[in-house]
Amino acid sequence: MSDYRIKGETGEWEVVIGLEVHAQVTSNAKLFSGAATAFGAEPNTQVSLVDAAMPGMLPVPNRECIRQAVRTGMAIEAQINKWSRFDRKNYFYADLPQGYQISQLYHPLVGEGSLHIEADEKAGIAADKVIGIERIHVEQDAGKLMHDQHPTMSYVDLNRSGVALMEIVSKPDMRSPAEAGAYVRKLRSILRYVGSCDGNMEEGSMRADVNVSVRKPGDPFGTRTETKNVNSVRFVMQTIEYEAKRQVELLESGGTVDQETRLFNPDTGTTRTMRSKEDAHDYRYFPDPDLLPLELDDAFLAECRESLPELPDAKRARYEAAGISAYNAGVLTAEVESARWFDALLETGAEPKAAANWVTSELFGALNRLGKDIADCPVTPAQAGELLGLVADGTISGSIAKQVFEIMLETGDGAAAIVEREGLKQTSDTGAIEAVIAEVLAKNPGQLEQYRGGKEALFGFFVGQTMKAMQGKANPQVVNELLKKALG
Amino acid sequence: MTDLTNLTVAQIRDGHRAGDFSAVEVAEAFSANVAGAKALNAFIVETPDHALAAAKAADADRAAGTLKPLSGVPIGMKDLFCTNGVQTTAASHMLEGFVPRYESTVSQKLWDAGAGMLGKLNLDQFAMGSSNETSYFGNVISPWKRNDGGPNLKERAALAPGGSSGGSSAAIAARLCPAATGTDTGGSIRQPAAFTGISGIKPTYGRCSRWGIVAFASSLDQAGPMARTVQDCAILLENMAGFDPKDATSLDMAVPNWEAALSSDLAGKTVGIPREYRLKGIDPDIDAMWDAGIAMLKDAGAEVVEISLPHTKYALPAYYIIAPAEASSNLARYDGVRYGLRDLPQGAGLQDMYAATRADGFGPEVKRRIMIGTYVLSAGFYDAYYTQAQKVRTLISRDFTAAFGTCDVILAPTAPSAAFGLGEKTSDPLAMYLNDVFAVPASLAGLPAMSVPAALNREGLPLGLQIIGKAFDEQGVLNAGLAIEERAGFTARAEKWW
Amino acid sequence: MTIDQATVRKIASLARIAISDAEADGLAGELNNILGWVEQLGEVDVSGVEPMTAVIPNQLRLRDDVIDADPLTGGNRRDDILANAPEPQHGFFGVPKVIE
């Protein structure tokens, strides 16, 4: 149980959150036409006669959109409905050319599933939690209205009209902004693993309708508001914080919450009533007579299942089983690109734990510094594997490895070649090391006396001096052994 | 030389092929008839140039030896089919001036087969009506007149050509075109054919692509041909039907060679006579024609059995829920934003613009049906009306399946009356709806059905017999139609007064 | 079920059709007449009957995910899309200003 509470004048309130996430399905063409879906095209260029709802135009569903929604459903372990239907949701708006949206109300493609969010003390999520998912259905996106181009007119661009969306409807299972944030992040991660949505919230590929209500703990659900089209994790959390507070204040001052549609203002972090769709509550859903029921056969479903990649939860478990810390496993699996990069590194034979440590500290640190994504990482997993291999077989030490890595980033050269060229090979030559140790002991008689007098902590000092004298190239294990002998 | 406009499609095709006349002569003859028949108001737009260009191409193809199935045949196009570069209105003010930049699949197939277009034919607005009186461009007047009036034909009562394909039926009956396209949602091909003494077939749902046809009720709409003979219907249908990947409900089946397989020998066939279609108090001429039709089919070798379609009486009420529900949604796209009429009162916002545009752009019957459809789909009524109607539709479909266990085709009247006078039923929408009582059941079940002229009634007006077939069995329907056509010897035509 | 003027107004509003009082009056009568008649459907025993979904047995076909494979259902035809627009504006459709 989350103990996120709003402290009101009459006591503590619990917030109840459900999210309807609209995720743009990754496909070349639209859900019911052959027009392109790419972002950022000239207005009304990616519009077919079908998308503009010219008289006599008919929809024919895009197989890939159905496939991606099914794969997404499988990824959240949901029931896949082999028989589903498209329904029309009827309302009038300038961005909705048909006067109805083709959606799925009565028989959605995907039924109940679930999604796990992990405990996160820092964020205030005390324990792992399972968030129920009610359904996923496929529907058309609307066009776009622009209000600031003309003093008395709004402009309609239908490029988005008809693009396939998955609406992923959660159960009202979340109880804090942090849980909702974790849910959206996790959902986004899964969608990107599956490849069914690019998860790009800035371009509107993913946006959430946020349903919020408040109640006294133990009471039945209160009346909810729905804040539309919230397009970042941070805004989702802000919406919940604002709405929960607003509703508590409203209720405590004797008012009631209206079941209404609201809009979030990112500039102020507040929400307000949406004026334009107030009277559109009677959507007159009915099965789209232009489309037959959607029936999926076993071969189609089998292909969907076989094409699913390893998903974050499974990958994380596998990493932990390989000895990687829970924290690192979480970091490595959060983004599909990092996980894929890391898996490629493991395939080179790198030792999982050392590799995980190196990626999360050295590699991510370097990328951060360079302002780069893992996708355009200057070092390939194979090159990194070579570097880690040199450390593992004792050719170079960990500190030399850092030096080599820097050179790799600058030059793009291979680790072994750099070690060879720069003479960074670690030595285990006992004669050479013994000579250096003798020198070090001779130069530091004071410390030697103190050590022999019982101050054993100075052992590290002698290791450091020896390594320094050997420019880091001595095998630390051999140094340790020989020093112990010499210090007697 | 014979009057080319008296020729059937088959005669034009064959005569042109044989070199008896040129396609240009044919096109010019029909275009002249069209131009001379303004009084019928059958056309919204006349396109003699289109017909002439196709005719010239046909003559060139003949010279080159590359004739197509419909080379030299000019036809009329119901103004519900979108035609590239030619105004398409669905007989509404809403789409007045709308010029599509695309061609419907069915019309494209006809042009590809060599046909030419004489013009866009008038119809009931958005195909909603049974008398052609709901057109924004004025009603079509049937060429037929009752024989009970004075000597002056022109002054006798104007009759309805049927609807919604009333422009098509009137134009063919008046020899303005040898054939035309129609669409049938609840009888819109068959009833006007019956009213004007011509033939028309609605094929199995899905045979003809709906792509590019202004939608009325998607689960019912089917295009089909109207012509003077059964053979002509077969020829036209062969060139209209066919799989279209752009229509998700299109049938992915080969188009049979219906014309070649025409046969009026019904030996071994069984004809079902539905008991429930014997309505009390119906015009005795209708029953007499029906009985004559039964005799004709027996004469053609068929066995006749009585069958039962128990849910017949519920077909019309179910239709008047399902069709308006679909229409209310299909017609939502006419909003004044992207094409068609925009009515923007001073200072109006978007929603006011919608309301004003739709009030102005739709006629009373269209509004009535949108209102009914909106109501039956609205919150709290959906199950009681729409779901119930779709369940009844299942039962109606099952009735036919059961009946076809004992017969091959069904014979019934096409309409419960001959053509009525313009204005006679306009004050009572329900009375108008009831005229489709025999046509609607086959529509609800998606079955092929045709009307062939069988007799004249006491007033000298044509009556049609309807043949309903099994799904995909257009051939059985056409063959039975041919057997009636041969025996009925229907040669009557409207005396020219226009 | 009787449809009064207020119901007629509500339906007309849902359908976005402006109507006058006189029209609302007339429509109330007509709709009552028609809906009263269709209510006979309630007599039919439909227990165990599924609503009609596909009138002729047929499978919903799916299209391949290919852009502009057929120009008739593809994009890149802005001129055609805007050709009949009542208020084309710099490649957009213009509508009266909307306040969201």
Instruction: Quick: pLDDT tens for B156-168.
Output: 999 999 999 999 9
Q: Which chain A positions have a beta carbon within 8 Å of C77's beta carbon?
A: 47-49
* Rounded CA separation B190/B202 (Å): 7
Which element (helix H / strand E) includes B74? strand B74-78
- Distance from the first to the final alpha carbon of chain A: 59
**Closest alpha carbon to A16 in A215, A264, A233:** A215
Band (pLDDT 50/70/90 cuts) for residue B89 is: very high
Please report where in the chains the tokens 């609201």 appear, as a residue. Answer: A262
Cβ distance of C55 and B344 shorter than 8 Å? no
Could you tell me whether strands B409-413 and B270-274 are parallel, antiparallel, or unpaired per DSSP bridges? Answer: parallel
Question: Which three-class secondary structure state does DSSP give residue B224?
Answer: strand
Cβ distance of A49 and C80 shorter than 8 Å? yes
Per-residue pLDDT tens digits for B352-384: 999 999 999 999 999 999 999 999 999 889 999
Min distance A25 CA to chain B CA atoms (Å): 21
Contact status, residue A40 vs residue A166, Cβ threshold 8 Å: no
Band (pLDDT 50/70/90 cuts) for residue A1 is: very low
Among B residues 239-278, those touching chain A with beta carbons less than 8 Å apart: 245-249
Q: Where are the beta strands (DSSP E) in chain C?
A: 88-89, 92-96
Band (pLDDT 50/70/90 cuts) for residue A280 is: low
**CATH node for B4-261:** 3.90.1300.10
Q: Which chain B positions have a beta carbon within 8 Å of A292's beta carbon?
A: 248-249
Contacts (Cβ under 8 Å, ≥6 apart) of C42 = B384, B388
Could you write out the DSSP letters of every residue in B272-305? Answer: EEEGGG--TT--HHHHHHHHHHHHHHHHTT-EEE
C-alpha dist (Å) from residue B216 to A220, A328, A373, B287, C87: 46, 61, 53, 32, 26
Mutate to test the interface with B, among A47, A57, A62, A286 (most CBs of B within 10 A): A286
Domains of chain B by residue range: 4-261
Contact status, residue B188 vs residue B164, Cβ threshold 8 Å: yes
Min distance A153 CA to chain C CA atoms (Å): 4
Q: What is the mean pLDDT of residues A118-144?
A: 94
Cβ distance of C18 and B358 shorter than 8 Å? yes
φ and ψ of B317, to 5 deg: -60, -40
Q: Which chain C positions have a beta carbon within 8 Å of A158's beta carbon?
A: 81, 93
Other beta carbons less than 10 A from residue A304's beta carbon: 22
pTM of the model: 0.93
Contact status, residue B150 vs residue B143, Cβ threshold 8 Å: no
Contact status, residue A101 vs residue A140, Cβ threshold 8 Å: yes
Query: Residues B102, B74, B61, B107: what is their CA dihedral angle, to the nearest 10 degrees?
Result: 20
Contact status, residue A462 vs residue A416, Cβ threshold 8 Å: no
* Rounded CA separation C71/A261 (Å): 39
Among A residues 120-149, those touching chain C with beta carbons less than 8 Å apart: 145-147, 149
The answer to the question of residue C73 being in a domain is no
**Closest alpha carbon to B277 in B265, B293, B266, B262:** B293
* Rounded CA separation A274/B265 (Å): 70
**Residue B337: closest C-alpha in chain A:** A94
Residue A44 pLDDT > 90: yes
Exposure string over B206-222, b if 16+ CB within 10 A, otherwise e? bbbbbbbbbbbbbbbbb
Per-residue pLDDT tens digits for A292-304: 999 999 999 999 9
Cβ distance of A92 and B335 shorter than 8 Å? yes
Cβ distance of A58 and B246 shorter than 8 Å? yes
* Rounded CA separation B188/B78 (Å): 11
Angle, CA of A327, A333 and A335, to the nearest 5°: 125
Contact status, residue A222 vs residue A246, Cβ threshold 8 Å: no
Q: What is the mean pLDDT of residues B88-116?
A: 98
- The pLDDT of residue A477 is 82
Per-residue pLDDT tens digits for B399-428: 999 999 999 999 999 999 999 999 998 888
Q: What is the mean pLDDT of residues A364-372?
A: 93
**Closest alpha carbon to B451 in B437, B464, B436:** B464
Q: Residues of chain A whose C-beta is under 8 A from some C-beta in B?
A: 49, 52-61, 88, 90, 92-94, 97-100, 154, 156, 281-282, 284-286, 288-292
Min distance A366 CA to chain C CA atoms (Å): 39
Structure tokens at B254: 């080969």
Report helix, strand and coil shares of chain A as percent, to nearest 5. Answer: 40, 20, 40
φ and ψ of C70, to 5 deg: -120, 120
- The edge-to-edge listing of strands for the beta sheet with C92-96 is A144-146, A153-157, C92-96, C88-89
Q: Which chain B positions have a beta carbon within 8 Å of A53's beta carbon?
A: 333, 338
Interface check B427 vs C, CB under 8 A: no
Cβ burial, residue B3 (10 Å; 0-12/13-18/19+): exposed
- The pLDDT of residue A277 is 53
Per-residue pLDDT tens digits for A8-41: 999 999 999 999 999 999 999 999 999 999 999 9
Per-residue pLDDT tens digits for B439-470: 999 999 999 999 999 999 999 999 999 999 99
Residue B306 pLDDT > 90: yes
- The pLDDT of residue C1 is 58
Q: What is the mean pLDDT of residues A323-328?
A: 95
Min distance C45 CA to chain A CA atoms (Å): 22
Question: What domains sit in chain A, N to C, each tagged with a CATH number?
Answer: 6-300 (no CATH), 310-422 (no CATH), 430-487 (1.10.10.410)
- The pLDDT of residue B464 is 98
Output DSSP code: residue B81. Answer: B
* Rounded CA separation C73/C78 (Å): 13
Residue A278 pLDDT > 80: no
Q: What is the average pLDDT value for chain A, to the nearest integer?
A: 93
* Rounded CA separation B283/B301 (Å): 28
The answer to the question of residue C99 being in a domain is no
Cβ distance of A49 and C73 shorter than 8 Å? yes
Q: Which chain C positions have a beta carbon within 8 Å of A292's beta carbon?
A: 53-54, 58-60
Output DSSP code: residue B313. Answer: G
Structure tokens at A183: 């849910």
Min distance C40 CA to chain A CA atoms (Å): 22
Residue A445 pLDDT > 50: yes
Report the domain count for chain C.
1
The angle, 0 to 180 degrees and rounded to 10, between the axes of the packed helices A430-443 and A459-469 is 120
Contact status, residue B466 vs residue B414, Cβ threshold 8 Å: yes
Q: For residue A131, which amino acid is it?
A: I
**Residue C23's domain is classified under what CATH number?**
1.10.20
Q: What is the average pLDDT value for chain B, to the nearest integer?
A: 97
Contacts (Cβ under 8 Å, ≥6 apart) of B380 = none
Min distance C55 CA to chain B CA atoms (Å): 6
- The pLDDT of residue C2 is 82
Angle, CA of A249, A252 and A258, to the nearest 5°: 70
Cβ burial, residue B368 (10 Å; 0-12/13-18/19+): buried
Query: Which residue among C14, C81, C97 sits closest to A52, beta carbon to beta carbon?
Result: C81
Query: Which residue among B337, B362, B392 sits closest to C41, beta carbon to beta carbon?
Result: B392
- What is the total residue count of chain B? 498
Residue B281 pLDDT > 90: no
**Closest alpha carbon to B70 in B55, B86, B50, B48:** B55
Strand partners, A100: A90
* Rounded CA separation B77/B114 (Å): 14
Q: Which chain A positions have a beta carbon within 8 Å of B246's beta carbon?
A: 58, 60
Output DSSP code: residue A310. Answer: P
Min distance A326 CA to chain B CA atoms (Å): 50
Output DSSP code: residue B431. Answer: H
**Residue C84: closest C-alpha in chain A:** A54
Q: Which chain C positions have a beta carbon within 8 Å of A60's beta carbon?
A: 61-63, 73
Cβ distance of B362 and C17 shorter than 8 Å? yes
* Rounded CA separation B51/B115 (Å): 8
The answer to the question of residue C15 being in a domain is yes
* Rounded CA separation B390/B322 (Å): 7
Contact status, residue B400 vs residue B310, Cβ threshold 8 Å: no
Residue A2 pLDDT > 60: no
φ and ψ of B301, to 5 deg: 110, 0
**Residue C44: closest C-alpha in chain B:** B392
Exposure string over A246-280, b if 16+ CB within 10 A, otherwise e? bbbeebeeeeebeeebbbbeeeeeebeebebeeee
Q: Which chain A positions have a beta carbon within 8 Å of B98's beta carbon?
A: 55
Structure tokens at B431: 């009375």
Structure tokens at B446: 């998606």
Catalytic (active-site) positions of B: 78, 164, 188
* Rounded CA separation B321/C8 (Å): 17
Q: Which chain B positions have a beta carbon within 8 Å of A289's beta carbon?
A: 217-219, 326
Cβ distance of A289 and B217 shorter than 8 Å? yes
Query: Which residue among C14, C81, C98 sits closest to A145, beta carbon to beta carbon?
Result: C98
Please report where in the chains the tokens 């050997």 appear, as a residue. Answer: A470
* Rounded CA separation B444/B434 (Å): 15
Residue B243 pLDDT > 80: yes
Output DSSP code: residue A149. Answer: S
- The pLDDT of residue B149 is 73
**Residue A276: closest C-alpha in chain B:** B351
Structure tokens at B129: 């009506």
Cβ distance of C16 and B375 shorter than 8 Å? no
Poorest-pLDDT segment among A112-121, B20-29, B42-51: A112-121
Q: What is the mean pLDDT of residues B139-161?
A: 92
**Full domain range(s) for residue C28:** 5-42
The answer to the question of residue C31 being in a domain is yes
* Rounded CA separation B165/B146 (Å): 21
Angle, CA of C4, C8 and C12, to the nearest 5°: 170
**Closest alpha carbon to A260 in A221, A220, A237, A227:** A227
Question: Which three-class secondary structure state does DSSP give residue A36?
Answer: strand
Long-range Cβ contacts of A296-303 (<8 Å, 24+ apart): A296/A66, A296/A70, A296/A80, A296/A82, A296/A83, A297/A82, A300/A67, A300/A70, A301/A70, A301/A80, A301/A82, A303/A67
Band (pLDDT 50/70/90 cuts) for residue B191 is: very high
